[in-house]
């Protein structure tokens, strides 16, 4: 039982550590999908390297049990050191807290910081499979069962980390807890055979617990956090299910950060006035206002200067408001308690879609679409939902990064993709130029004006006390020269595509814009070169190549079954991770309020993985044509992937509450479980086929586990960065289906040689 617990613990530790590392690196990398793709890609790549390259030697070690236990001890220290290294990344690159880091530093830092811990975890799985075989003598079956135990551990690790650990423990303490569990497992493994060594491990375990009791680990976490945010006074830092919220002070300036991304600073009267008054001054008598984000940053204070009847303020994470009320000066958070203000801790998109109330003005204050989550607020579908929620002469307003004097081609494409969408939905659209461009839209052509005299007359009539949005400022801001230049850029005829829910083009153009702004022409050129046609041509070429390999191997290759099964496993792992990303992204688009369920979906995926591994490991001996199992799995992946767009369209267009409940609570979790089940079955089958060429279990488990992780690495990296932004959800699903169809053809060509006992 000791080795079973240890293998279970590999998965538990890996998933829990992955969640912690993702959160910590998100603070450094501002948490968009590119950074998540880099992090997961690096994690899975090094796990594959440890399993594949080092796992091949696991059969050669004499004292496997002692080596495995030593790895558990080393893992304890690597977990802590990795977190300390992550918190030093910006110091190494000379960047200030809150400053956006470039894509190239993202790649290098995530790649090298994660290498030691991931290589060790990958190697430990291969070595654990070999120790497991020595205990139970089950041949190919032991690898499938070990993979099942590892997946079950990952399932529990993901669930506990997402819903328990991150709420009550700091990251360093969580890492120490994981390390102590691994040392306890090492003591269990060694106690019967190596009592002296077990005693040594027990002493380390007791020392770790004593340091915990005296809060040494809490002090280490506090010290490393202060070092990470040096120059700032940390007033408060807490984790929620949505991310890390931090309140800092520097001089008289208070700032709030969400996952390391600057939300707003107080006092910043100019930003608050612009965000509110550009929109509200366009109406003679605004009464009902809807605000999404930014309320604690001074926007509600500015809105309350008008004779407003009601303000609905939407902030997804309630911790932002709690931290603002606790740490900001009382005068700044006081407007949140005004009787006219109703605070809703809901996703803004979901609230607006279901709203029956009509508004005179809707202000979105979420910033640029750095993430696909924020991108949902700049799509044509969302603009249509906004239009339904506005009164007849209602105003819709939001702001994006821009430039007052020179709009580069990359910035122009980015702004144009949003502008085209607005013009598709609303009759009148006005863009106020500047380093921050303010977009105003109305479905009536006689409401919005660019005449600053009219706006100032309204401000005087309402007795508004404004410092920045006043005559001399608006005279410059609304000058015909600036308007003419900006409008000429936005109206240029180019191949820029408008932004849709299931085809997030603005998110894609934003990536290109920031690559140019951060001085990374190489990455910018790569993004620009990957267009729709080029991507699909590349996928088609890969599929043709796979089929040609099958035709050639059919005639010449002696180890055709083993090699074909490994290619099939690679594609299955790639497809599972790519589809999982598609599922998570589609879930956000359709329902919007499910961020707290992402951990649950990952847990369900791991449960399916464990079930598939256990089930096939038990039944593998009953099948003779194992390659046919893999053929079936790839065919099912092809059917599943090609069916997803139809399913997503039905769920997104239905307005029935029953359909919404079933979709969010049954269909999406079931999809996650099914793709996990497919991977578990495929992994166990690939191990059975690979063991028939006489290789040892340690070598085979290292090879197959490495390929599994490599495929997942490619799926996470390519789907979030390239497939979905470039192809969109529908064509990404079809591309995954085509790749699986090519594997289906390859395996079918070889199936007559698949009689393996």
* Domain shared by 392 and 418, yes or no: yes
* Domain shared by 428 and 538, yes or no: no
CATH number, domain of 180, equals 1.20.1250
Domain hosting 124: range is 1-228
* 161-179 confidence digits (pLDDT tens): 877 887 788 889 999 999 9
Q: Return d(Cα 563, Cα 266) in angstroms, integer.
A: 61
Low-confidence ranges of the chain (pLDDT < 70): 1-2, 31-33, 55-62, 130, 132-144, 192-195, 550, 552-559, 561, 592-599, 620-621, 623-624, 655, 691-702, 751-757
Domain final position from 492, 517, 542: 517
Asked if residue 54 is part of any domain, the answer here is: yes
For residue 264, the SS3 value is: strand
Asked if residue 239 is part of any domain, the answer here is: no
* Domain shared by 476 and 615, yes or no: no
Q: Return d(Cα 588, Cα 581) in angstroms, integer.
A: 11
Count up the domains in the chain and report the number. 3
DSSP bridge partners of 395: 361
Asked if residue 405 is part of any domain, the answer here is: yes
pTM: 0.83
Residue 325 class from Cβ within 10 Å (0-12 exposed, 13-18 middle, 19+ buried)? Answer: middle
Residue 303, pLDDT score? 92
* Domain shared by 273 and 210, yes or no: no
Crossing angle for the helix pair 64-86 and 195-213, nearest 10 degrees? 20
Distances in whole angstroms, Cα of residue 259 to Cα of each of 40, 94, 304, 593: 17, 19, 29, 18
Tokens at residue 543, please? 């599929």
Distances in whole angstroms, Cα of residue 37 to Cα of each of 107, 470, 513, 616, 712: 10, 45, 19, 30, 11
Domain final position from 228, 252, 283: 228
174: CB partners within 8 A, 6+ apart: 16, 20, 161, 165, 166
Asked if residue 235 is part of any domain, the answer here is: no
What b/e sequence results for 434-458 when a residue is b if at least 16 CB atoms lie within 10 Å of its CB, and e otherwise? bebbbbbbbbeeebbbbebeebbeb
711: CB partners within 8 A, 6+ apart: 569, 570, 571, 572, 573, 574, 576, 577
* Domain shared by 498 and 567, yes or no: no
Domain final position from 466, 484, 517: 517
* Domain shared by 507 and 605, yes or no: no
Asked if residue 696 is part of any domain, the answer here is: yes
Residue 93, pLDDT score? 85
353: CB partners within 8 A, 6+ apart: 385, 592
Q: Return d(Cα 158, Cα 17) in angstroms, integer.
A: 9
Question: Using an 8 Å Cβ cutoff, are 628 and 644 in contact?
Answer: no
* Domain shared by 544 and 459, yes or no: no
Tokens at residue 741, please? 């169809």
Asked if residue 628 is part of any domain, the answer here is: yes
DSSP bridge partners of 256: 247, 264
Residue 495, pLDDT score? 82
Q: What angle do CA 551, 555, 560 make, to 5 degrees?
A: 80
Asked if residue 251 is part of any domain, the answer here is: no
Residue 691, pLDDT score? 63
Residue 755, pLDDT score? 38
Asked if residue 247 is part of any domain, the answer here is: no
CATH number, domain of 363, equals 3.40.50.150
* Domain shared by 470 and 613, yes or no: no
Tokens at residue 223, please? 């010290």
* Domain shared by 504 and 636, yes or no: no
* Domain shared by 302 and 208, yes or no: no
* Domain shared by 509 and 570, yes or no: no
* Domain shared by 215 and 356, yes or no: no
């Amino acid at each position: 039982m000791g080795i079973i617990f240890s293998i279970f613990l590999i998965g538990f530790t890996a998933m829990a550590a992955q969640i912690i590392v993702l959160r910590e690196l998100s603070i450094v990398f501002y948490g968009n999908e590119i950074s998540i793709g880099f992090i997961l890609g690096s994690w899975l790549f090094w796990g594959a390297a440890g399993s594949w390259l080092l796992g091949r030697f696991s059969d050669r070690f004499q004292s496997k049990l002692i080596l495995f236990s030593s790895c558990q001890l080393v893992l304890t220290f690597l977990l802590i050191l990795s977190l300390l290294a992550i918190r030093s990344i910006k110091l190494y690159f000379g960047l200030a807290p809150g400053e956006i880091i470039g894509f190239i530093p993202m790649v290098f830092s995530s790649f090298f910081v994660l290498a030691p811990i991931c290589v060790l975890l990958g190697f430990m799985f291969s070595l654990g499979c070999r120790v497991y075989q020595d205990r139970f003598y089950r041949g190919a079956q032991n690898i499938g069962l070990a993979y099942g135990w590892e997946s079950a551990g990952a399932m529990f690790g993901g669930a506990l980390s997402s819903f328990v650990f991150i709420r009550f423990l700091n990251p360093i303490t969580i890492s120490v807890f994981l390390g102590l569990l691994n040392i306890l497992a090492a003591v269990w493994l060694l106690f019967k055979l190596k009592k002296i060594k077990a005693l040594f491990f027990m002493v380390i375990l007791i020392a770790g617990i004593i340091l915990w009791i005296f809060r040494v680990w809490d002090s280490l976490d506090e010290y490393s956090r202060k070092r990470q945010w040096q120059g700032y006074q940390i007033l408060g830092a807490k984790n929620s299910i949505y991310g890390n919220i931090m309140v800092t002070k520097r001089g008289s300036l208070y700032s709030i950060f969400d996952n390391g991304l600057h939300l707003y600073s107080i006092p910043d009267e100019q930003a608050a006035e612009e965000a509110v008054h550009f929109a509200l001054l366009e109406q003679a008598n605004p009464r009902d206002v809807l605000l999404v984000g930014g309320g604690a940053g001074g926007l509600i204070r500015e809105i309350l200067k008008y004779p407003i009847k009601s303000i609905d303020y939407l902030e997804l994470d309630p911790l932002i408001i709690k931290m603002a009320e606790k740490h900001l000066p009382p005068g700044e958070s006081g407007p949140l308690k005004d009787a006219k203000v109703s605070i809703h801790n809901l996703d803004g998109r979901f609230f607006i879609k279901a709203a029956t109330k009509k508004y005179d003005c809707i202000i979105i204050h979420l910033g640029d679409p750095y993430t696909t989550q924020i991108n949902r607020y700049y799509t044509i579908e969302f603009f249509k939902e906004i239009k339904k929620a506005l009164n007849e002469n209602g105003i819709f307003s939001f702001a994006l990064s821009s430039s007052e004097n020179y709009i580069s081609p990359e910035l122009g494409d980015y702004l144009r993709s949003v502008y085209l969408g607005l013009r598709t939905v609303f009759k009148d659209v006005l863009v106020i130029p500047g380093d921050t461009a303010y977009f105003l839209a109305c479905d009536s052509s006689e409401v919005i004006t660019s005449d600053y005299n009219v706006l100032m007359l309204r401000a005087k009539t309402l007795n508004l006390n404004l410092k920045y949005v006043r005559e001399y400022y608006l005279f410059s801001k609304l000058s015909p020269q600036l308007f003419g230049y900006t409008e000429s850029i936005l109206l240029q005829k180019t191949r820029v595509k408008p932004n849709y829910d299931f085809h997030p083009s603005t998110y894609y153009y934003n990536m290109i814009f920031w690559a140019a702004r951060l001085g990374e022409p190489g990455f910018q050129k790569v993004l620009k070169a990957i267009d729709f046609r080029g991507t699909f041509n590349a996928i088609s070429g890969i599929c043709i190549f796979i089929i040609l390999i099958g035709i050639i191997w059919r005639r010449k290759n002696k180890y055709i079954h083993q090699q074909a099964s490994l290619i099939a496993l690679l594609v299955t792992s790639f497809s599972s991770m790519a589809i999982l990303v598609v599922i998570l992204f589609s879930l956000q688009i359709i329902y919007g309020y499910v961020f707290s369920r992402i951990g649950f979906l990952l847990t369900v995926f791991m449960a399916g993985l464990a079930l598939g591994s256990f089930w096939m490991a038990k039944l593998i001996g009953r099948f003779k044509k194992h390659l046919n199992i893999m053929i079936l799995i790839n065919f099912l992946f092809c059917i599943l992937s090609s069916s997803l767009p139809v399913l997503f369209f039905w769920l997104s267009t239905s307005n029935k509450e029953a359909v919404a409940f079933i979709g969010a609570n049954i269909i999406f979790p079931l999809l996650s479980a099914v793709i996990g089940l497919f991977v578990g079955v495929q992994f166990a089958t690939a191990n059975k086929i690979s063991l028939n060429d006489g290789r040892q279990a340690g070598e085979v488990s290292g090879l197959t586990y490495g390929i599994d992780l490599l495929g997942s690495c490619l799926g996470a990296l390519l789907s979030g960065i390239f497939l979905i932004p470039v192809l969109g959800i529908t064509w990404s699903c079809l591309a995954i289906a085509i790749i699986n169809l090519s594997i289906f053809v390859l395996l079918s060509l070889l199936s007559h040689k698949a009689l393996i006992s």
